[in-house]
Each structure stands twice: as C-alpha cells, then as structure tokens.
Structure 1
Amino acid sequence: MKVLILGAGAVGGYFGARLAEAGKDVTFLVRERRREQLRERGLRVQSVHGDIHLQEPQLIVAGEETGTYDVILLSNKAYHLSDSMESIAPYVGENTMILPLLNGIAHMEQLWERFGRERVLGGLCFIETTLNSDGDVVQTSQTHEAVFGEWSGGESERIHLLKETFAGTKATIRTSADIQRDMWQKYLFITTLSGITTLMNSAVGPIREAVYGLELTRQLSEESASVMRKIGAPIDTDIVDKQMKIFMNQGYGMKASMLRDMEKGLEVEADHLQGYLIQKADQLGVAVPLLKVVYNNLKVYELKRAADK
C-alpha cells in the first residue's frame, strides 16, 4: 500500500521513519523549506528504541502530481487542520483511508464533512517526541504506539489490510475494535495532563508533590469526564481512577506537549481540547470551574503571544 504522511514533524516524522525503515512505501508531504532541510540532512530520528537515518526519504510538496494514495496519515496540530485538508485533497482517491492521529475529537467532524465518513478512520497515538534545532526527531518515551480502527467498531477487510501493511515496524502500530472509546479516553487524559501542567507551568513530578496537586488534577479530570458522560461518550465508569494511576506513574520530568510548545512560544490547541469541552459543558449545563481556569490561562498565553509578535 502507498502511504502518505502529512509532514515530517515530531509525530509524523517518527512513525513515517519507522515505516520506511521497515521497507514500506512511504512518502512525506512537506513544505518547501522542510524539503530542502531533509534533502540536505536526511530524516534523522534519535530514539530510545534505536536511531534512524533515512538519507533520501521520498518527499513531495503540496500541489505536485503523484496520484492518489491508499492511506494518508495526519499528525498535524488541530489549528492547522483546514490547511492540512486542502494539502491532502489532491491525493485522496475513491478508496483512500485517512488516518488522523490528532488529539481530541472535534477534528473528526471536520474530516467527515470534507472527505466523507467512509474515508476517515479513527486513530490516536501515545508517544513523546519533539524536533530539535537541527530538525531531527527526538523520541524519548518507552511507549511509541499508534492505534487505528473503524469509527463504527469491529475490524473490516481494509483495517486488516492496513494492519498487514503496518506490521513489522519497530513501533507499536495496532488496531482497535472500539476506537471511539480509545479516542475519548485519550482525550480525557491529554486534556487533564496538558491542562494541569500548563496551569502549574510544571512537569508532573512537582505537581504530585505540591499540597493540592493531586486533588486539583483529579478535579480537572472529573470535570472533563462529567462533560464527556453528558455527551454520551463511551468512557469507562472508573476511568478517572485509572488515569490518576497513570498520572502517578509518569516520569518526574514528564511534560505535556502543550507545555513544551508554550515554552517554545508556539501555538497551542486550547480551543480544540479544553475549549471544545467547555463549549459542550455550557450547552449542557455542566459546571466546569477548574477547566475554565485552565482554558483562561491558555487564552491569556495566546493574547500575550500575539502581543509579543
């Protein structure tokens, strides 16, 4: 199968490199500046699971005519989704599968509207990656997992074929028969983790040690989960307890990617993650006071970032 990866950043660059390393037919759709960088340096991955150096990765820039692809993997930030959809549109054929690995849920409706429900799979990933100053992918977590499946559940013939295509890589790429549940529960975790670390401007270790750190983390998770339950999201009844255990087991210096982005002065996904849940909470009459504090903190950051520009 022909695989197109949108971008060659921290997430797409990592999983795309792992696929290419395993001999899969992988092309990266990148901006011109990134293409020149990759042509000069190659795509390099520094990983706890073994380094990769693709000297001549297959690269295209949006608009180049290469035909359609069997699967297009999206790993962009939510605030780039509109541009990303326009970039991949020429490469979407009748049977193309679009696999988004974005955080949250709101992007699914936009992808369905643009490309049709039948083309869009559910997907998510668990990984800690970033780009260094040379444009290399730096991957630091023991977990490097991507999950995908039919939004309606079960395992279809095309999911089976895609599973075979992704087999044999050094990353964990697996299917899920209940991808909606997996995506909502990942959404809950990342909303809580990004919210508490950005609010406290801290990695998880000091938050756990502070006098009210765990209490506030649980409150944020409970508020977010209460909105999801009101929506009818398929989350486990004991999901907050489960995710607090995960939070307790995170490395002392672990930071949400949103906090790392703030430290670099980059855009954040406040509207896509916390903002989406607050919008639903207001519509449904669910009280989320701490979630609104988190969101307001992120919006203040955005205002200051815009003023600095």
Structure 2
Amino acid sequence: MKIYFLGAGALGCAIGGTLAAAGSEVTLIDPFEAHVEAINRDGLRLKGGDTERVVKVRAALDSHGLEPADLVIVLVKSFHTRAAIEGAKGIIGPETAVMSLQNGMGHEEILSEVVGREHVLAGKTYVGGVLLGPGHVIAGTRGKRTVIGEFDGSMTPRAQAIAAEFERADLPCEVSDNIMGVMWDKLLINVSTGALSGITGQVYGSLYAVPEIEATAIAAVAEAMAVAKASGVTLSIKEPRDAWVMAAEGLPYEFKTSMLQSLEKGSITEIDFINGSVVRGGRKFNVPTPVNQTLVAAIKGIERRLEAK
C-alpha cells in the first residue's frame, strides 16, 4: 500500500517508520528540512525500549511530484490541517483514502471540505512518539492500538485493508462501527489533562498530586460527556473520573502533555480542537460548558503572552 504521511513529527515517524519496515511504500512529508535530509541520507532511527533500528524510508518537504496515494494519513498540528491538505491535493486520486490520526475533534470536517467527504475516514491512535532530533525518534508502538472507521459505521473494504496493513506491521488496528464514540473517548482523555498541565506547568506526576486539579479535570470531562450524549454519541467511558485515571496509565512521572510541550516551546496549542471542541458542541446542543470555557480562555491568554515576548 502506498501511504503518505502529512506531518512527519514524532508520531508520523513512529507509525510511518514501522509501516515502512514491514514493507509498506511510505513517504514522510514534512517541512522540517534538517529532519527530511537526515531521513533521506541516513535512514530513520527508531528507538523502542533498549533497542534501536534504522529504517529506510523516503521523506519529502512537500507533495510536489508525488503520485496519488492509496492512503494519506494526516498528522500535522491541528491548526495546520487546512493548509496541509490544500497543499496536498495533487496526491489525492479518485480512490485515495484520507485519514486523520490527530488529537482532538474537527479535523475530518476540514478534510471533507477540501477533498470531499467520500475520501475521508476517521481514526484514533494510542501510539506514542518523541522526536529526539532530526531523523531520530522514540517509537512507542508496542501493544498500542489504533482504531479506524467509516462515519456511517460500515465495514468497508478500504477500512479493512488499512487495518490489515497496520496489523502486518505489528501495529494493532481494528475497524470500529462506532468511530465517533472512539473519537470522543480519546477526546475525554485529552480534555482531562492537556489544558490543566499546560496552565499549571506540571508534569503528570505532580499534576496528579493536586486534588483541586483532579476535581477540575473531572468536571471538564463531565461537561464533555454531556455534550457527547446530547449529540447522540455512545461512549465506552462511563464515569468522568475514568478518563482522568486512563490518561496517566503506563506513563512516567515526568511525562509532559503535548499542550505543555507546545507552550514550553513558545508555540500555540491545539486547544481549539480539544477543550474548544467541547465548547462548540455545548453551544450547538445547548449544554453548559463553563469549566472548558475557562480552560480555553486560560490557554489562549498564555498563548497571547508568549506571542508578545
């Protein structure tokens, strides 16, 4: 299968490199020139546990000159989604599937507006990754599942083919008939810790040591669950505290959320696609979301302060 990754940061490299090592025809597309050059020159160094391997995989700064793909996986930062897919129209053929594995909600609507809803399916992944340097990534793939699906819940040949390609690379993948529920389940976990970690500057160990933070996290998740219920989504997470507990499972004391990492780098965050999506849903279905509104406002204020520096 010919698979292009729009966004070859830590996660794109972790998944793309693993697929390439198993024989998929992968191209990693990313504007980070030193990263692309290192991958093409030396191969992609994938570190997993105490072992490291070098994978030969093609990388490119953009999609210019590439043939249409069988599958385009979108893993750019949420706020770059529209620009990335607009710039990649040349690799979208009549049968190309386009799938986001990004955090948060709302990406599929953007992708559908640009390439047509018939091309788009949804997915969520629990694979992790850390970019150590150009062409060098920690890939947390072992036992980490990816769930994909069609919006209407149908078990299509294309979804099954994608899952089979992942499985062939020892990347656990299943096709769900309730992908919206899967996406909301993952959103609840992001809602529980991302903004609070970013606002307080706390790593997971210290974040989980403050009862007031836990209470606020549970309240934010409860709002998100109410919005999901109002929109007709069936969740597998039944209690707000479960999302808070699940968010920290298997992670070290010093783990930092992506939102905290973005703020520490002076970058804007994906708040609009995480807590912000809860707020938008609340407005649509007339569900109060004061906790999430407050978290969004606080993160926006921090972003504004960093921007002014």
What is the TM-score of this pair, normalised by structure 1? 0.90
SS at match of 2:4: strand
Q: Tell me by how many angstroms 1:246 deviates.
A: 1.5
SS at match of 1:72: strand
Q: Which residue does 2:11 correspond to in 1?
A: 11
Cα distance between partner residues in 2 of 1:257 and 1:210: 20
Q: Which residue does 1:211 correspond to in 2?
A: 211
Q: Which residue does 1:91 correspond to in 2?
A: 91
Identity fraction in percent = 24
Cα distance between partner residues in 2 of 1:237 and 1:29: 35
Q: Which amino acid aligns with 1:81?
A: T
Q: Which residue does 1:303 correspond to in 2?
A: 304
Q: Which amino acid aligns with 1:277?
A: V
Q: Tell me by how many angstroms 1:289 deviates.
A: 2.3
Is the Cα–Cα contact under 8 Å of residues 194 and 258 in structure 1 kept in the other structure? yes
Instruction: Between 20-29 and 279-288, report the one with greater CA deviation.
Output: 279-288
Deviation digits for residues 285-306 of structure 1, max 9, x if unmatched? 4322221221112101210121
**2:212 is aligned with 1:232:** no
Q: Which residue does 1:267 correspond to in 2?
A: 268
Is the Cα–Cα contact under 8 Å of residues 268 and 303 in structure 2 kept in the other structure? yes
Is the Cα–Cα contact under 8 Å of residues 220 and 292 in structure 2 kept in the other structure? yes
Q: Tell me by how many angstroms 1:135 deviates.
A: 4.5
1:1-309 to structure 2, matched below 5 A, reads 1-31=1-31, 33=33, 34-48=35-49, 50-54=51-55, 56-139=56-139, 144-236=144-236, 238-247=238-247, 249-251=249-251, 252-308=253-309
> In the comparison of the two structures, how many residue pairs are matched?
307
Is the Cα–Cα contact under 8 Å of residues 185 and 239 in structure 1 kept in the other structure? no
Instruction: Between 180-189 and 281-290, report the one with greater CA deviation.
Output: 281-290
After superposition, the CA RMSD in angstroms is: 2.3
Is the Cα–Cα contact under 8 Å of residues 265 and 305 in structure 1 kept in the other structure? yes
Cα distance between partner residues in 1 of 2:143 and 2:202: 21
Q: Tell me by how many angstroms 1:140 deviates.
A: 5.0
CA 1:236–1:74: 2 relative to 1, 3 Å:
same
Cα distance between partner residues in 2 of 1:272 and 1:183: 12
CA 1:248–1:258: 2 relative to 1, 3 Å:
closer
Alignment gaps of 5+ in structure 2: none
Is the Cα–Cα contact under 8 Å of residues 204 and 250 in structure 1 kept in the other structure? no
Cα distance between partner residues in 2 of 1:97 and 1:276: 24
Q: Tell me by how many angstroms 1:266 deviates.
A: 2.1
SS at match of 1:62: coil
Deviation digits for residues 171-220 of structure 1, max 9, x if unmatched? 32332232111011111211222122223221232232223232222112
CA 1:141–1:207: 2 relative to 1, 3 Å:
farther
Q: Tell me by how many angstroms 1:39 deviates.
A: 2.7
Cα distance between partner residues in 1 of 2:294 and 2:95: 44
Q: Tell me by how many angstroms 1:279 deviates.
A: 2.8
Cα distance between partner residues in 1 of 2:162 and 2:181: 20
CA 1:211–1:103: 2 relative to 1, 3 Å:
closer
Structure 1 segments, 4+ long, off by >4 Å, are 140-143
Instruction: Between 102-111 and 14-23, report the one with greater CA deviation.
Output: 102-111
Cα distance between partner residues in 2 of 1:48 and 1:79: 32
Cα distance between partner residues in 2 of 1:207 and 1:60: 38
SS at match of 1:187: helix
CA 1:150–1:229: 2 relative to 1, 3 Å:
same
Cα distance between partner residues in 2 of 1:63 and 1:127: 25
What is the TM-score of this pair, normalised by structure 2? 0.90
SS at match of 1:167: helix
Alignment gaps of 5+ in structure 1: none
